[in-house]
A = this chain, B = another copy of it.
Amino acid sequence: MSAKVIDGKAIAKKVRSEVAVAVAKMKEEHDYVPGLATVLVGDNTASTTYVRNKHKACQEAGIRSIGREIPADISQDDLLAIVRELNDDPTVDGILVQLPLPKHIDDEVILGAIDLAKDVDGFHPLNIGRLAMKGRDPQFIPCTPYGCMRLLKEMDVDLNGAEAVVLGRSNIVGLPMGMLLQKANATVTICHSRTKDMVEHLKRADVVIAAVGITEMVTGDMLKPGAVVIDVGINRKDDPSKKRGYRLVGDVDYDSCAEVAGAITPVPGGVGPMTIAMLVQNTLEAAEHKLSQS
């Protein structure tokens, strides 16, 4: 058996094109273009690359992006003032504060200060509560889980009554992912570092979401034949054949899992491109919501 490859790159492109069409329509009908503000504190190389990619994706979709680059020694109060200024700016629909922040700044305070209507990352506890609860809807779905759900949808995966196993319980992936799968009527188990027998759970899973950050932890022999495998991990693995000395791999051992799974995301080119696509989507949704309220 050889799994279908879930082409995150192509699906992300599709999402971005849909957003571009909607943005063009909004411009025509409302003479308005959505705007995303990014806040980058310090000069962490990875963060700088992430933020640059987010701006590029916005640009391609016709969304304005506003980049605030701030020295690493900014005080928490001054950073708060910047967030509040962006909250008040009517041309900003989404605010993204790139993590990690310098150690002297409390993430929770900064993220909690973002206007809920502009919190396109969807990490506010009120948003997470609404995401969890039956009969409630979040303002935004956190980008990575939103991307995973879109991949499942594009692959026509029937989640109703499906056995879903999420590996990892982080606030930004595992936890909201479990909530979304449960709302889609899957039976969800979240495994984590204290789980005694992860393999027992994997063996019965129709859908596996791996988001633990452990290199190639899931191998083909752990899977139920035909399972749909979504690999959120991005880990560096030594590879002397590469110029930079490593290559990127997921939490899933791709080769052995592809033999057993029904469908699987590659790393890179699976979940990664979806996260940025859904950020662009959320920025559009923020602007749509604003226009519908005015």
Residues on A lying within 8 angstroms of B by beta carbon are: 108, 124-136, 160-161, 163, 169-171, 175, 179, 182, 185-192, 194-196, 200-201, 204
- What separation, in Å, do the CA atoms of A189 and B169 have in the docked complex? 13
- What separation, in Å, do the CA atoms of A195 and B159 have in the docked complex? 11
Among B171, B175, B188, B191, contact of A190 (Cβ-Cβ < 8 Å): B188
- What separation, in Å, do the CA atoms of A190 and B182 have in the docked complex? 8
- What separation, in Å, do the CA atoms of A194 and B191 have in the docked complex? 21
* With known contacts A187-B189, A187-B194, A194-B185, A169–B124 Cβ distance under 8 A: no
Which B residues touch A135, using CB under 8 A? 108, 171
8 example contacts (A-B, Cβ-Cβ < 8 A) are as follows: A108-B136, A125-B136, A133-B171, A135-B171, A163-B196, A182-B190, A182-B192, A187-B194
Which B residues touch A131, using CB under 8 A? 129
* With known contacts A126-B129, A169-B134, A160–B204 Cβ distance under 8 A: no
- What separation, in Å, do the CA atoms of A130 and B139 have in the docked complex? 16
Judge whether A187 and B195 touch: CB under 8 Å. Answer: yes
- What separation, in Å, do the CA atoms of A40 and B175 have in the docked complex? 36
Judge whether A161 and B196 touch: CB under 8 Å. Answer: yes
19 additional contacts, CB 8 Å, given A125-B133, A132-B132? A125-B129, A125-B136, A126-B126, A129-B129, A129-B130, A129-B131, A133-B171, A134-B171, A161-B195, A161-B196, A182-B190, A185-B192, A187-B189, A187-B190, A187-B192, A187-B194, A187-B195, A188-B189, A188-B190
Name the distance in Å between A281's Cβ and chain B's nearest Cβ. Answer: 22
Judge whether A194 and B161 touch: CB under 8 Å. Answer: yes
Name the distance in Å between A204's Cβ and chain B's nearest Cβ. Answer: 7
- What separation, in Å, do the CA atoms of A147 and B194 have in the docked complex? 24
Judge whether A187 and B182 touch: CB under 8 Å. Answer: no
* With known contacts A132-B128, A187-B189, A191-B187, A182–B169 Cβ distance under 8 A: yes
Which B residues touch A171, using CB under 8 A? 133-135
